[in-house]
Amino acid sequence: MRRSPFTFVLPLHAAVCFCLSPAPSALSQTALGTPASWAYQLQNLDIAAIEANRTFDLIVIDYSAEGDAGTSFSTDDIARLKSSGKTVLAYMSIGEAETYRFYWRDSWDANGDGKPDTGAPSWLGRENPEWEGNYKVRFWDPGWQEIIFTYLDTVISRGYDGIYMDIVDAYYYWSEEEGSRPDADTLMIAFVRELRKHADAVSAGPFALVPQNGEYIIVEVNVTESLKQEYLGLIDGIGVEDLFFYGSKDNNNSWNPDQERIDLLDEYHAAGLPVLSVEYLSDPSKITRYLAAALSRGYLPYVTDRELDRLEDGLTAVDQPSRETAPASTVLHNYPNPFNGETVIRYTLAGPGPVVCDLIDMRGRRVRRYNLGPQPAGDHTLRIDSAALSTGVYLYRFTIDGVHRSGRCLVLK
């Protein structure tokens, strides 16, 4: 999904509030570390709102408020987000040109017929008929790559932790649909290789490259096993859309898991790469089903509206309480995470009420219950030890005056 008119995370009647502290990576050695939750917003960005939100530890945003250079976020803006404990990725389409970006010239398609005019750069292709204002590009062309490297330099100079690369699957258009470059699959991997080299040369520290979609590239006809392994080593995670719910509607499609894609993503996950999964849903029952499916595979789930223009809470739990009845300032946070021995969960109650905490394994079985009794408003802690717990991911679910709040912790032994 390119920059669109689309984000929402859970609707207000179906959101979960949680926060987990970032921890050293045990499952992944990529530049992302081991994020516990993520959020995705490309429009109507409010730096203060993102900074204040404690329900996710990784955020994908556009590099500017309006997508152009004039409204780009400053170094101080990104520093604020990072100082709040978040990893910040900049959205970047590497496989299509966008007419609202700094590099676009109206003269390239002055009559707006979707076809490049005389004098347009040789790398520019026709407009995507399904996405107005987005034009196909010959991404292997040095002219286009130089634009993307310049774009990347700006992102790095502002302090972003990495880029979220959209339209990696552009190779399929040139190899199969348009058909002029049957080697476009290997050309895309070569492009990602050059992006990695450029980022490593320019960035002062680890810099993440995360493709969105395009997971089939590792099994394309020209991609050898060694090239596949190289690609998996070049990237730091993968984002995927519409994996479990797919159809013709913008939102709330039918349950329709794509097993072929899931099998492929298992290879990415087995390689230690976080899988950032996003579904476009607002139906609470579908959200619950999605979260259970995504979490069972070890993916990081996110629910949103395809407009990507609203910021809600990050997700890790299957429980989806009504926000109207939830204590507004209930916050969950545990440290250390991962842990072996003991972790301390800190939580804040907006008002008094009875509190129960259940520890649930990833098969949905309750392994412990803590009856904490009536508690006053304010800050509280709960210590959980790893005795008799196996290595794995557990949900801790607080029931506070009848309303659920959940987070996730990882036991490593």
Tokens of 34: 């081991």
Topology, domain 331-411:
Immunoglobulin-like (2.60.40)
pLDDT at 14 (0 to 100): 30
Helix (H, G, I), strand (E, B) or coil at 390: coil
Name the helix (H) or strand (E) containing 143: helix 142-157
pLDDT at 283 (0 to 100): 86
pLDDT at 402 (0 to 100): 64
Distance CA 136, CA 264 (A): 26
DSSP string, 6-64: BB--S-GGG-----------SS--STT---S-EEEE-SS--HHHHHH--S-SEEEE-SB
CATH of 12-95+139-320, one of 3.20.20.70, 3.30.465.10, 3.30.70.60, 3.40.1190.20: 3.20.20.70
Residue with tokens 């002029």: 180
pLDDT at 314 (0 to 100): 74
Q: What is the DSSP letter of 150?
A: H
pLDDT at 322 (0 to 100): 36
Task: Report domain extents, the chain.
Answer: 12-95+139-320, 331-411
Distance CA 352, CA 376 (A): 4
Positions in the chain whose pLDDT score sits under 50: 1-29, 317-329
Which residue type does 153 have? D
**b/e 317-337 (16+ beta carbons within 10 angstroms → b):** bbbbbebeebbeebbbbbeeb
pLDDT at 4 (0 to 100): 38
Tokens of 239: 């984002």
Q: What is the DSSP letter of 72?
A: B
- Return the closest-CA partner of residue 213 out of 182, 254, 172, 252: 172
